[in-house]
Amino acid sequence: MKYLFLDTNIFLHFINFEQIPWGNLVDDTEFKIIVSDIVAGEIDKHKDGARGKIQKKAKVLSKLLGDVFLGDKNLSISLGYCMSCPEKLPDEVRAKFNPSSQDDQILMGILASDYPKENIVVVSYDNPILIKAKAHGLCFLRMPDEFLLKEELSEEEKELEKCKKEIAAYRNRMSKPVLLLNKEKACLKIKRSPVLDVEKELAKHMQIIRSQHPYKELPSITKDTTPFSSVFEGCSVIDTDGVKIYNTYMDSYYDREEKFYRTLLEKKLLDERMYELSFSLGNEGTDETGNINIFVKFPDGIKLYTDRSKKNVDVDKPMVPPAYSPFLDPRLQESMRLMSPSPSGGNFVKIWNLDADTSKRDFSYITSAVNHHVVHSLEEMDGIYIDKETCGNFQIQYRIIDSKHIDSINGVINVVIEE
């Protein structure tokens, strides 16, 4: 049986003594923790006079020791109490100790105790008491660092550190402008769109148009049917020339409808290919920016487009063809309808002209007083666009000049085109 006399620092600066594997440390499965009255008194002093986490731990330990030695509380390990009686020691032994030293008081109490001297182990983190214990023939254990309490701030210390940081942040307020491209700071990834099959979509559309507005077919003629009798019997008049004229008109309508819809499909195809690039200025700092000048440079070899790269293309949507009439030429019917005012207004659309790219590569912007954690849009009058279908990866260089900063802020944004 080993009797482990724990110094005050083991109780206050290390993990809960019940959680320490004492058997492994002293190489004996049978052991007992002995609490000296001097150590118990020191714990009570820290309970009332210390601060922060040490005071908090001393209060918990003081209550625990009281529950064990006054209330017979059982712990997971055996615990004993030692009353110091230095007067039991011979005068020549007491003469080697300083009665005003806490370490000496603990050692005198240990030597004067009834525990077998050869089974006593003095446990401490401080060298002086362990050196004296060794000098008096006692076994000793210097507590390993691995069981030390982690450096954790008390609530008061945490609050103080928080206040220090807030004061430092207030004193060191600084704007931190950063350029964003479509809300991305370092890399903008753009996915290519599936290519619209114009011919396939056009064929599907024309099939629907031809089914909705078919050719006029000649009715079958029997020997009992004559144009004269049909008029009087309320049936269709058989007019071969009129049907031919009507179907010729329908051919013209189909051609115009195909041209109209092809234009719309080509517009849709180009609109899906074009991708607008938009810049904005963010402020990741702790203070608003000063007056800001931003200079952006695109690399050569990248085709850029603006809203001015679009051309006006006429798109006269054909009128729905008139129903067949044996008495009226369809072209005459259409001309009569065209005399009515058009409700649709202009008859053109804007379509991208891929040959009308801009030669401009440098863009600049001016703004000011952008608050921290705010994103401010940078407007480009005619916009900036790229063709996702033909454009490759590239890098945009930029320079930001903030009147509150001595040096300019330089950076790059990568643009990656993904399949």
pLDDT per residue as tens digits for the range 53-103: 788 889 999 999 999 989 888 888 999 999 888 888 888 888 888 888 889
Please give the pLDDT value at position 53: 79
Read off the pLDDT of residues 193-204 as tens digits, 9 standing for 90 and up.
899 999 999 999
State which residues of the chain have pLDDT below 50.
223, 225-226, 228-236, 343-345
CA dist., res. 35 & res. 115, Å (int): 13
CA dist., res. 245 & res. 295, Å (int): 65
> What is the crossing angle of helices 330-338 and 240-273, to 10°?
50
Read off the pLDDT of residues 2-31 as tens digits, 9 standing for 90 and up.
999 999 999 999 999 999 999 999 999 999
Rounded to 10 degrees, the C-alpha dihedral 149/152/157/158 comes to: -160
Residue with token string 């396939």: 200
CA dist., res. 93 & res. 136, Å (int): 9
CB 123 within 8 A of CB 110: no
Total residues belonging to the chain: 419
Please give the pLDDT value at position 229: 44
CA dist., res. 329 & res. 332, Å (int): 5
Please give the pLDDT value at position 358: 95
Please give the pLDDT value at position 144: 94
CA dist., res. 10 & res. 31, Å (int): 16
CA dist., res. 413 & res. 392, Å (int): 14
Residues 208, 211, 213: CA angle, nearest 5 degrees:
105
| DSSP of 149-217 | PP----HHHHHHHHHHHHHHHHHT----EEEEETTBSSEEEEEPPPPP-HHHHHHHHHHHHHHHSPPPP
Please give the pLDDT value at position 231: 45
Please give the pLDDT value at position 328: 74
- In degrees and rounded to multiples of 5, residue 275 shows phi and psi of -130, 125
Mean pLDDT, the chain, rounded, equals 88
- Nearest-CA neighbor of 309 among 351, 281, 346? 351
Using DSSP's 3-state secondary structure scheme, residue 352 falls into: strand
Please give the pLDDT value at position 336: 65
